[in-house]
Amino acid sequence: MPRRRTQTLQLLMALGLALFPFFAGDYWLHTGIICLFYIMMASSWNLLAGYTGQVSFAHAAFAGVGAYVSGLAAIHFHLPPLLGALLGMAVAAFLGLLLGVLCIRMGGIYLSLTTLAFSEMLRIIIDNEYEFTRGTMGLSVPFILPVYSKTTAYFLMGAVTVAVLCVIRSIVRSDLGTAFRAVQNDETAAASLGIHVVKVRLAAFVISSTMAGLAGALYGHYHQLITPEILSLNLMFFVLAIAVIGGMGTFVGPIVGAIFLEFLSEYIRIYGQFHVLLFGLIALAVCRFAPQGLMGLWQRRMRALSS
Amino acid sequence: MQDLLLYCTNGLLLGVIYALSALGVSLIVGIMNVINFSHGELYVLAGYFSALFARALGLPVLAGAGLAVAVVFLFGLLVERTLIRNTYGNDMASLIITFVLSIVLQNAYLLIFGPYPQKPPNWVDGSTRLFGLFYYGNQRLAALGAGAVVIAVLFLVVKKTWFGKTVRAVAQDREMAAMVGVNPDGVNMLSFALGCALAAAAGVILAPIFPVTPTVSVGVSLTAFIVVVLGGMGSLGGCVIGGLILGLVQNLGSAYVSSGYKHFFGFFILLLVLTVRPTGLFGRKQL
Amino acid sequence: MAFLEVQNVVKRFGGLVAVAGVSFEIEPGRIVGLIGPNGAGKTTLFNLIAGTFPCDEGAIRFCGEDLTRSRPYHVCRKGIARTFQIARPFHEMTCYENVVVGLIGRDGFRGETEARRRRVEELLEFVGLKDFMHTEARHLNLIQKKLLEIARALATRPKLVLLDEVLGGLNTGEILKALDLIRAIRDRFGVTILWIEHVMGALMQVVERLLVLDRGRLLCEGEPAAVVKDPRVIEAYLGEADD
């Protein structure tokens, strides 16, 4: 795509994003904020899974870490939510580093299993330590801003999402991003060229977990209620399905996937519990017939048109 | 003393079933290098079917159980053919597909069978006094026996039959096996379905004792993964030992430490093994 | 101080002894051939030097440094680059990016600069892939993939390159070009070359020394012309023909 057109498109999207609250009702504003959360989650998971080929099942767990740390800090130490979010992010980064050091050397299936175990252990702890975490009842936490305003919350979430996306984009385009892809393509060859495979993978894991921690903390303070649902495999499934359906290993894929799924789920809400099933079936169909996701289909179409 | 023995007996029973279920995962990992995340859902499916066949169709309960296992076996063939076959060589893709499949199945069960627990009728009634100390349900003893028999049969099949030899050959060296005329696609399909059938066997054996709901599947899968890692990926013997260890640890842990943390112990073992000795207690790939 | 010194290295896989105590030295600036029947342990030896497998016994020293326990990335940063028997380019990356990985591996993440761009172009031009700069590696043919591997290896500014079968599947014209390229690697970049090859006739034209492996042991070494007349070498190859 010509550069000019890309820029125009970006400008239009930014404008649409900025004007959205002024014509969207309260309900759609809420949907928009949730969508921003999923964009952050799926994009950061994609940085790990799509660019370095490591499927982590702890991404939702790291969002939970961010949310609970920030929420508990706000309740017990009266830390302002925005500072709390930074703290939550830092703790997620630290845990990500610890877990990464433990399991990244083995990679592949082992990484998936270890992250799954970590995620479930965390959930069990939060369920059981209800005196501290309120268990499945959920933890009531202060709103993200001193004054309740959905519009301001939307702009805050939007700004953070844009910042996160910018960081991801610059990483993908940097030498580190090239190293990510080299490691995903062929780690033996990458190592033979002087790439420290374990460090590169660890970097991806920690960066991705940190972003999840930030997204989770903001999400928790927006909802004002944090439940163990945030680190459930269900949320993990949504994040994964968004990235898969949008197109893993592409920058735009998770964004498209999040918007697609969030708005689709609004339209099929009348079918209630059907919607997870439907997402699942769509994701399966995409895996089977279009492994590159919607972005892959789009690119193929563009190529067909131009030739 | 009496309590301890009771917990150990419970641990032994669960251990045998854990082993049985984990053998299914291990078989598939060993041969295809695929982790089947929808393992637990197949366990649950068999539980539902055995209840359905026995209660709605009025089949004898054991016949219903056998039929349920057969149906899941067929389902496994279908899943391998339609979803897994395209992903060979790409571990990540099969991981994602089976994970998505597990969520799809959970939600489908919720829709079809509802959220309430369902159980097939007991195979046997009454209880037996064990060690002269406590009474133990006959159904539990029957489950223990059935689990042990299925495991024994599986080992005979893998060690002695033509199928077992073929499977071991493919697990060791795929290209070589293909060169001497083994059809790897066929072996994959068959072993994937067999792995599913083992999950189903565990499901029909335990369902009369622990009724199935759409969400118990998660615990079943995770338990199987823990056992497989503990015993060494792809090692069948390791699975049996790993299953027994986990069954005992979980039961003793939840009795003497905290029942809310029952599953925690398993995950803790998993993290520990992965960190200290990632090849498991008995190394890997020794079918 | 020897340039590369391999001392009594041993590698076992289960019961199989792939490399059974091999020792040799290589002087800088040479092109050295490594030959031997199939299964003699040549590629395993490469993997030991490159750090892909750890040695069970023995030592490997390079420019005075002990690399016996080094991991592959470390070996590379010390100045040993390699290619693979079956080419392993990064398939979903362009040729340009493939070479960049080599530069990153050696120099760290320094970002794109004009100098780096020129360097990548130079290397791709040197192996004759300049026209494919922005082509993804999976679209290359077999020879081009091998050439890309060489460019990528040279990007790490090696002192020693391990080449694993470059000529397999090439026709005569292509072989002649490849031989020129291999000489140029040494002459232009001052790189020492250790080279596994089955195409003996071509190998003999370029190498200045020959090492012969058989069943995990060093059978003999020396002047190429003398080595190929050695009865032990002939026997090893004839033995292979008998199998």
Name residue, tokens 């970049």: C189
Interface test with A, best of C82, C101, C161 (most A CBs within 10 A): C101
Interior/surface letters B135-161, b for 16+ CB within 10 angstroms, e for the rest: ebbebbbbbbebbbebbeebeeebeee
Q: Do chains B and A touch (3 or more CB pairs under 8 A)?
A: yes
pLDDT band at A97 (very low <50, low <70, confident <90, very high): very high
Q: What is the pLDDT of residue A43?
A: 93
Q: What is the mean pLDDT of residues A191-213?
A: 92
Closest chain C residue by Cα to residue A179? C101
Two tokens at C149? 């591997």
Q: Supply the pLDDT for residue A272.
A: 67
Q: Tell me the pLDDT of chain A averaged across its residues.
A: 85
Distance of residue C46 Cα from the nearest chain A Cα, in angstroms? 11
Cβ distance A121 to B271 less than 8 Å, yes or no, reads yes
Cβ-defined contact of A273 to B271 (cutoff 8 Å): no
Distance of residue A192 Cα from the nearest chain C Cα, in angstroms: 5
The mean predicted confidence, pLDDT, of chain C is: 86
Q: Which domains does chain C have, with CATH numbers?
A: 1-77+160-168+178-243 (3.40.50.300), 80-157 (no CATH)
Q: For residue B64, is it within any domain?
A: yes
- Interchain CB distance below 8 Å, A179 and C101: yes
- Are A119 and A233 in contact by the 8 Å Cβ rule? The answer is yes
Q: Chains that contact A by 3+ CB pairs under 8 Å? A: B, C
Q: Is the dihedral of CA A206, A209, A215, A221 positive or negative?
A: negative
Q: Which residues contact B105 (CB under 8 A, 6 or more apart)?
A: B38, B41, B44, B45, B217
CB C56 within 8 A of CB C218: no
Question: Cα–Cα distance between C97 and B55 in angstroms, integer?
Answer: 63
Sign of the Cα pseudo-torsion (C187, C189, C195, C199, in order): negative
- Tokens for B130? 């064990």
List subunits contacting chain B, requiring 3 or more Cβ pairs under 8 Å: A
Of C105, C112, C153, the CB nearest to A195: C105
One DSSP character per residue, B193-248 reads HHHHHHHHHHHHHHTTTS-B-TTHHHHHHHHHHHHHHHH-TT-HHHHHHHHHHHHH
Within 216-235 of A, beta carbons closer than 8 Å to B belong to: 233-234
Closest CA to C161 of C177, C184, C140: C184
**Nearest residue of chain A to residue B264 (CA atoms):** A121
What ipTM was reported for this prediction?
A: 0.86
How does pLDDT run across A247-283, given as a tens digit for each residue?
888 888 898 889 888 888 877 776 766 778 888 888 8
In chain C, alpha helices (H): 42-50, 72-77, 95-107, 114-127, 142-155, 172-189, 200-206, 224-229, 231-242
Q: Does the beta-carbon distance from A178 to C92 stay under 8 Å?
A: no
CA distance B13 to chain A (A): 24
**Mean pLDDT (whole number) for C181-191:** 88
A178 touches chain C (CB under 8 A): yes
Cross-chain residue pair A273–B278, CB shorter than 8 Å = no
Could you tell me if residue B42 is inside a domain? yes
Q: Are C25 and C77 in contact (CB under 8 A)?
A: no
CA distance C56 to C39: 18
CA distances from residue B276 to A99, B263, C196 in whole angstroms, order as listed: 13, 20, 38
The tens digit of pLDDT for each residue in C134-171 reads 888 889 888 888 889 999 999 998 999 999 888 877 88
Answer whether residue A2 shows pLDDT above 60: no
Residue A102 and residue B86: Cβ atoms within 8 Å? no
- Measured in angstroms, the CA of C229 and the nearest CA of chain A are apart by 36
Q: Note whether residue B131 is domain-resident.
A: no
Please report the pLDDT score of residue B49 as a whole number: 87
Q: What is the pLDDT along chain B (287 residues), one digit of tens a residue?
A: 677 777 788 888 888 888 888 888 888 888 778 888 899 899 999 888 888 888 787 777 787 788 888 888 999 888 888 888 887 777 788 888 999 999 899 888 888 888 888 887 777 777 777 676 677 777 787 778 888 888 888 888 888 887 777 777 777 777 677 766 777 778 888 888 888 988 888 888 888 888 888 888 888 888 888 888 887 777 778 888 888 888 888 878 777 776 667 677 777 777 777 777 766 666 554 44
Of B103, B268, B278, the CB nearest to A237: B103
Within-domain flag for B163: yes
Chains A and C are touching, with contact defined as 3 or more CB–CB pairs separated by less than 8 Å? yes
DSSP, collapsed to helix, strand or coil, labels residue C56 as coil
Highest mean pLDDT among A201-205, B18-22, C38-42, C213-217: A201-205
| Residue B247 within a domain | yes
C145 interfaces chain A, CB cutoff of 8 Å: no
> What is the tally of structural domains in chain B?
1
Q: Are strands B134-137 and C4-13 parallel, antiparallel or unpaired?
A: unpaired
Selection from C75, C89, C71, C85 nearest residue C42 by Cα = C85
Contacts of C150 in chain A (CB under 8 A): none
- Chain A positions touching C91 (Cβ under 8 A) are 185-186
To which residue do tokens 């009266």 refer? A78
Query: Residue B6's pLDDT is what?
Result: 79
Kindly tell me the sign of the dihedral angle through the C-alpha atoms of B234, B239, B241, B245. Answer: positive
Q: Which A-chain residues 264-293 have CB contacts (< 8 A) with chain B?
A: 273-274, 276-277, 280-281, 283-284, 287-288, 291
- Of B79, B72, B120, B128, residue with least CA distance to B100: B79
Contact C72 A185 (CB under 8 A): no
- Residues 6 or more apart in contact with residue C206 via CB below 8 angstroms: C31, C33, C179, C182, C183, C195
> Does residue B237 belong to any structural domain of this protein?
yes
C-alpha separations of A79 from A62, B73, B219 in Å: 20, 55, 37
Q: Name the neighbours of C, counting chains with at least 3 Cβ pairs within 8 A.
A: A
First-to-last CA distance in chain C?
A: 42
CATH of the domain at B48: 1.10.3470
Give the nearest partner residue to A233 out of B111, B218, B233, using CB atoms: B218
Tokens of C32: 């050295």
Structural domain for B7, as ranges: 2-114+137-276
Which chain A residues are within 8 Å of C50, Cβ to Cβ?
Answer: 192
**Nearest chain A residue to B99, by CA:** A237
Chain B residues within an 8 Å CB radius of A109: 29, 33, 35, 91, 95, 233
Cβ of A288 within 8 Å of Cβ of B97? The answer is yes
CB contact under 8 A, A287 and B96: yes
Minimal Cα distance from C73: which residue of A?
A194
Among A48, A106, A120, which would you mutate to test the B interface (most chain B Cβ atoms within 10 Å of its Cβ)? A120
pLDDT of res. B145: 81
Model confidence at A191: pLDDT above 80 = yes
Q: Is C49 left (phi over 0), alpha (psi -120 to 50) or beta?
A: alpha
Would B181 be classed as within a structural domain?
A: yes
- What pLDDT digit, counting tens, does each position of A147-186 carry? 778 788 888 888 899 899 989 999 998 999 999 999 988 8
Tokens of B196: 């599913």
The verdict on a CB contact (< 8 Å) between B270 and A127 is: no
Q: Quick check: A85 pLDDT over 90?
A: no
Q: H/E element holding A269? A: none
SS3 state of residue B281? coil
Give the pLDDT of residue B286. Answer: 40
For the stretch A118-134, pLDDT in tens is 888 888 888 877 777 78
